[in-house]
Structure 1
Amino acid sequence: MTRILVVSDEESKYIWDHFEPKKFKNVDIIISCGDLKSEYLSFLVSMINAPLFYVHGNHDTKYKANPPDGCECIDDKIVIYKGIRIMGLGGSYRYSPGEHQYSERQMKWRITKLRPRLWLTKGIDILVTHAPAYKIGDGEDLCHRGFECFVEFISKYKPQLLLHGHQHLNYGRNQRIHNFKETEIINAFGYYFIEL
């Protein structure tokens, strides 16, 4: 059993201001789905004895000048940690000029470029994104629209998990967990623990 801490979009005061080591001692992997301060990710990886893998959110433009220390960006990569195959595709649907925003076609091309690696690893266990999949926990506006190619991807490759952020869970607007075919889709907003 692997215990994963997923985080996204909003720094948790519970973790950052009132850190209790015993509550995180069994965490094996930390995964960030984007839009968090670089300092927060550096804090997590220094306080919890586990590697931290992250993708960029649409607001993570300061990472270039100030990347999170001790963390690994997995955008456009597949990493294997303790036998778990993890693939990263950060960014949101393009709604304005700027970094970490993609058209449907651009995101599909990013997936296409990873096909040789997907073949070598015989698929993946976890897909980490910032944006949600289209019509599965996404928003109505262009900024929060999900990607159709993510739906196609999980239909074809059947990862156990799709972890995403971008859609805030404030005010009970959205649910955290969806299921699509054989994949459990989890919105990592704030923080959440997963047993894999």
Structure 2
Amino acid sequence: MIDIVAVSDEERSYLNIKKCDILLGCGDLSPGYLDFLMNKLKPKISLMIYGNHDKKYFQNLFKVELSDYSNTYKGLKIIHQDIINLKEILNIKKSLYISGFSGAYSYGKKPFHFSEKDAKIFKRILGRKKAFKLIKDIDIIITHSPPGLENLFEKNISAFHKGSSIMANIYMKYFPKIWFYGHIHPRYTDQILNFRIHYKNKISYLLNSVPYKYVRYDEEKKEVVEIIGEEKTVKFKDIFL
């Protein structure tokens, strides 16, 4: 079993979690807070992408890392438009692939914001890796904005918060076991922000990581075993595609 903690947008001094194998930063969190979580949870690997408010942590935008370990977020590996296999790092029997894409679906500087054109580049990158058999299935994808799947949110969610249609295409093509996103704060809405996506007799979990989600994942059976959030009971909306 693999213990995964995904976080974004809101910082908490207390999490009812003692440890994890993988820490995932889904954007809009300070380097100091992520350092605090790494010291508390002792993950074997910490990965992250950027949110739309992370620009403030960089004085020089030419020094924003898009891959490898960050000089700003010490100890965290950036996986923007990248995909990595954690099999050896976690010392597990089967491959476990994680991919990520930074930014909010809106207007602004990359990689803190992105357009459909930028999302198409990510789609092509994944497509090339699949074509050359560098990947088969993706277990987890992390983004800041949600993918723009139909019927997720009600009408009072803005067009940009509903997400990119290209990212929705990526979701359906690779149908990861888990997709973590941030950007939409649960305390600002009474809508359900966590989803069970049903497609061709398969289930994928689209999970809001604000302020955190804990997932226990059976990496051999490729199944989600447990999901815990700040709320006592995680509520899901079932989406059938």
Question: TM-score, normalised on structure 1?
Answer: 0.86
Unaligned segments of structure 2, at least 5 residues: 60-70, 88-94, 218-241
3-state SS in 1 of match to 2:27: coil
Please tell me the root mean square deviation across aligned C-alpha atoms, in Å.
2.1
**What letter matches 1:28 in structure 2?**
D
Task: Give 1:42 shift.
Answer: 1.5
Report if the CA contact (8 A) 1:162-1:186 is conserved.
yes
Q: Relative to structure 1, is the Cα distance of residues 110 and 2 closer, same or farther in structure 2, using a 3 angstrom cutoff? A: same
Report if the CA contact (8 A) 1:179-1:185 is conserved.
yes
Task: Give 1:94 shift.
Answer: 1.8
Q: Which has the larger displacement, 4-13 or 137-146? A: 137-146
- Please tell me whether residue 41 in structure 1 is matched to residue 34 in structure 2: yes
Task: Give 1:149 shift.
Answer: 1.5
3-state SS in 2 of match to 1:13: coil
Determine the C-alpha separation between the residues in 2 that align with 1:114 and 1:152.
12
Determine the C-alpha separation between the residues in 2 that align with 1:143 and 1:60.
18
**What letter matches 2:106 in structure 1?**
R
Identity %, equivalent residues:
31
**What letter matches 2:52 in structure 1?**
N
- Please tell me whether residue 145 in structure 1 is matched to residue 138 in structure 2: no
- The superposition leaves residues 147-182 of structure 1 with CA deviations (integer Å, 9 ceiling, x where unpaired) of 112221121112101110001000553324202233
Residue 52 of structure 2: aligned partner: 58
Residue 133 of structure 1: aligned partner: 147
Q: Which has the larger displacement, 133-142 or 57-66? A: 133-142
Residue 239 of structure 2: aligned partner: none
Determine the C-alpha separation between the residues in 2 that align with 1:130 and 1:163.
8
Report if the CA contact (8 A) 1:137-1:167 is conserved.
no
Determine the C-alpha separation between the residues in 1 that align with 2:216 and 2:120.
29
Task: Give 1:113 shift.
Answer: 2.2
**What letter matches 1:163 in structure 2?**
F
3-state SS in 1 of match to 2:172: helix
Residue 191 of structure 2: aligned partner: 174
- Please tell me whether residue 193 in structure 1 is matched to residue 214 in structure 2: yes
Determine the C-alpha separation between the residues in 1 that align with 2:114 and 2:159.
11
Report if the CA contact (8 A) 1:94-1:142 is conserved.
no
3-state SS in 2 of match to 1:184: strand
- The superposition leaves residues 56-105 of structure 1 with CA deviations (integer Å, 9 ceiling, x where unpaired) of 0011113445711111111111011133100001111123x333111112
Q: Relative to structure 1, is the Cα distance of residues 142 and 67 closer, same or farther in structure 2, using a 3 angstrom cutoff? A: farther
Q: Give the greater-gyration-radius structure (CA).
A: 2
Using CA pairs below 8 Å that are at least 6 residues apart, which structure has the higher relative contact order?
1
- The superposition leaves residues 131-152 of structure 1 with CA deviations (integer Å, 9 ceiling, x where unpaired) of 0011435873244231112221
Unaligned segments of structure 1, at least 5 residues: none
Question: TM-score, normalised on structure 2?
Answer: 0.71
- Please tell me whether residue 78 in structure 1 is matched to residue 95 in structure 2: no
* Number of residue-to-residue matches in the alignment: 188
Determine the C-alpha separation between the residues in 1 that align with 2:25 and 2:191.
19
Residue 98 of structure 1: aligned partner: 109
Report if the CA contact (8 A) 1:45-1:71 is conserved.
no
Determine the C-alpha separation between the residues in 2 that align with 1:63 and 1:76.
20
Report if the CA contact (8 A) 1:93-1:142 is conserved.
no
Task: Give 1:2 shift.
Answer: 0.8
Report if the CA contact (8 A) 2:99-2:138 is conserved.
yes
Determine the C-alpha separation between the residues in 2 that align with 1:172 and 1:143.
16
Task: Give 1:127 shift.
Answer: 0.9
Determine the C-alpha separation between the residues in 2 that align with 1:156 and 1:45.
32
